[in-house]
Amino acid sequence: MISPRSDAGQAFPIYLTVVAGLLFLALAYLAVGQASVNRSGAQTAADAAALAAAQNTRDQLGGAWVRVLLDPKKWQDIFDGRTGIDNPNAPCGRAGELAAQNDAQLSACFSPELLKYRADVETNKSVGRSVVPGTENVRSKAHAIAEIDPLCTFKLPGAGAKGTDLPQLTCKDKVWDLKPDDPSGLPKPNDLFDVHLAD
């Protein structure tokens, strides 16, 4: 006949095994959580970098439009992004600054097509030590694409119009009667273009 005391002695190693297994699972879930947080940080940095590049481009296009205000034939090229970028390095330079502000580094920045920017980033911090081997050297990577959408339409003056006549510019629901001698009344870059992350 086996005594209750000996039953308890046999159950103790099983108890230890179950507790150790649960502890390992808890640590594994913690590692997954760390990786998820790191990945989320990478995506935030990529989003910010892509938006920064697109916003810099938008601002350059807005400035270029003001400079050719008196020559409406040049407007469409600017709204289409075919011309107006005076400093092509500035958008990715700005993207790098925003990636750094989000504790990441820009690994790639380019314009896959007109009025779009893609930013690839890698986090500065690794996932960290965990029960999963090798995570101490793993850094999260992410990418994002931002788009620049022109908001305005216009009609060029007809053949009989005066050279000083400027077309009305309609941006979303607002109609601008342009007065070149009053720069304060001209639309700003964010009136001319919308910047957003691609779906």
Q: What is the DSSP string of 98-146?
A: HHHHTTEEEEEEE-SSTTEEEEEEEEEEE----SSTTGGG-EEEEEEEE
Dihedral sign, CA of 98, 103, 109, 113?
A: negative
> Of the ranges 26-35, 40-49, 137-146, 155-164, which one carries the lowest mean pLDDT score?
26-35
Q: What is the pTM of this model?
A: 0.77
Q: Of 64, 63, 76, 66, which Cα lies nearest the Cα of 180?
A: 66
| Residue 71, token pair as written in the block | 């020559």
Average pLDDT, the chain: 84
Residues 90, 100: Cα–Cα separation, whole Å: 15
Q: How far is CA 22 from the centre of its chain?
A: 39
Task: Name, in order, each residue with C-beta under 8 angstroms of 136's C-beta and a sequence gap of 6 or more.
Answer: 126, 127, 128, 129, 130
Domain limits, the chain: 7-150
Measured CA to CA in angstroms, residue 140 lies from 30, 44, 83 at distances of 16, 11, 36
| Residue 88, token pair as written in the block | 């092509």
pLDDT in tens, 13-41: 676 676 666 565 555 555 555 556 568 88
Rounded to 10 degrees, the C-alpha dihedral 84/90/96/99 comes to -50
Q: What is the pLDDT, as a whole number, of residue 93? A: 97
pLDDT in tens, 75-118: 999 999 999 999 999 999 999 999 999 999 999 999 999 999 99
Q: What is the pLDDT, as a whole number, of residue 123? A: 92
Does the structure show a pLDDT above 60 at 190? yes
Residues 146, 27: Cα–Cα separation, whole Å: 37
pLDDT in tens, 35-75: 565 688 899 999 999 999 999 999 999 999 999 999 999 99
Q: What is the pLDDT, as a whole number, of residue 132? A: 53
Does the structure show a pLDDT above 60 at 135? no
Asked if residues 72 and 169 have their Cβ atoms less than 8 Å apart, the reply is: no
